[in-house]
């Protein structure tokens, strides 16, 4: 399905204003490559995608495209990691582990999530299920401390940011 477009222009502008164009970027759950398309001036963008049909469609769009579940994907460092509509698809404990791992290996993390949004399997893709359909701004802050709002796109959608203090 891909990430939503709510606020994407504003977030892309923030990235352009704050992240150098030779930055190493990871697009998690790249789906149809919306972030790659939105930020063409960033050549060092990699993707990780769990669903084979999506991986097959985007594998040539990125510098490196990994066919892997983010829960089992290990890496050294990225300047920016984008979790565009990914966290709600993971069980809370797994999402917490994934984000804690990312915090130790990234300078900046951007997470976008919908709030109170139920979703089952779509397009034959079992990874489309929302396991965190109960997310609210308060619950996000409780489950994922250290993130701040980057852009509130709507009452039911938000972009969060984490900036590593060592950066």
- Asked whether the whole model's pTM tops 0.85, one would answer yes
Return the pLDDT at 1: 42
Number of domains in the chain: 1
Return the pLDDT at 2: 46
Residue 86 lies in a domain: yes
- How many Å apart are CA 51 and CA 30, to the nearest integer? 10
Nearby residues of 32 by Cβ (< 8 Å), 6 or more positions away = 1, 2, 54, 57, 58
Residue 32 lies in a domain: yes
Residue 22 lies in a domain: yes
H or E element, residue 140 = helix 137-143
Residues in the chain predicted with pLDDT less than 50, given as ranges, are 1-2
Closest-CA residue to 83 (of 21, 138, 135): 135
Residue 2 lies in a domain: no
- How many Å apart are CA 133 and CA 116, to the nearest integer? 5
Helix, strand and coil percent figures for the chain, each rounded to 5: 30, 25, 45
Residue 85 lies in a domain: yes
CA triplet 102, 108, 109: central angle to 5 degrees?
55
148 forms bridges with which residues in the sheet?
161
User: Which own/partner pairs from 70-76 qualify as long-range (CB within 8 Å, at least 24 positions apart)?
Assistant: 70/28, 70/29, 70/98, 71/97, 71/98, 73/48, 74/101, 75/26, 75/105, 76/105
- CATH number of the domain at 57, please: 3.40.50.150
Q: Give the range of the structural domain holding residue 154, as residue numbers without chain letter.
A: 8-163
Pairing mode, strands 78-84 and 45-49: unpaired
Residue 3 lies in a domain: no
Residue 57 lies in a domain: yes
Pairing mode, strands 157-163 and 106-114: antiparallel
Alpha-carbon 164 to chain mean position: 16
Residue 118 lies in a domain: yes
Q: What are 93-124's pLDDT values in tens digits?
A: 999 999 999 999 999 999 999 998 788 778 88
């Amino acid at each position: 399905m891909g990430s939503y477009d709510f606020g994407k222009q504003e977030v892309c502008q923030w990235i352009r204003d704050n992240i150098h164009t030779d930055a190493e970027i990871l697009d998690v759950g790249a789906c149809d490559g919306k972030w790659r398309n939105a930020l063409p001036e960033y050549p060092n963008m990699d993707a990780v995608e769990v669903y084979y049909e999506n991986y097959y469609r985007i594998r040539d769009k990125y510098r490196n495209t990994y066919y892997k579940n983010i829960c089992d994907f290990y890496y050294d460092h990225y300047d920016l990691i984008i979790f565009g509509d990914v966290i709600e698809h993971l069980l809370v404990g797994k999402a917490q582990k994934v984000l804690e791992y990312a915090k130790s290996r990234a300078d900046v993390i951007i997470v976008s999530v919908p709030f109170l949004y139920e979703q089952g399997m779509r397009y034959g893709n079992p990874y489309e299920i929302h396991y965190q359909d109960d997310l609210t701004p308060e619950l996000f802050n409780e489950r994922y401390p250290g993130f701040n709002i980057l852009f509130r796109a709507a009452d039911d959608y938000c972009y969060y940011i984490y900036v590593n203090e060592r950066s």
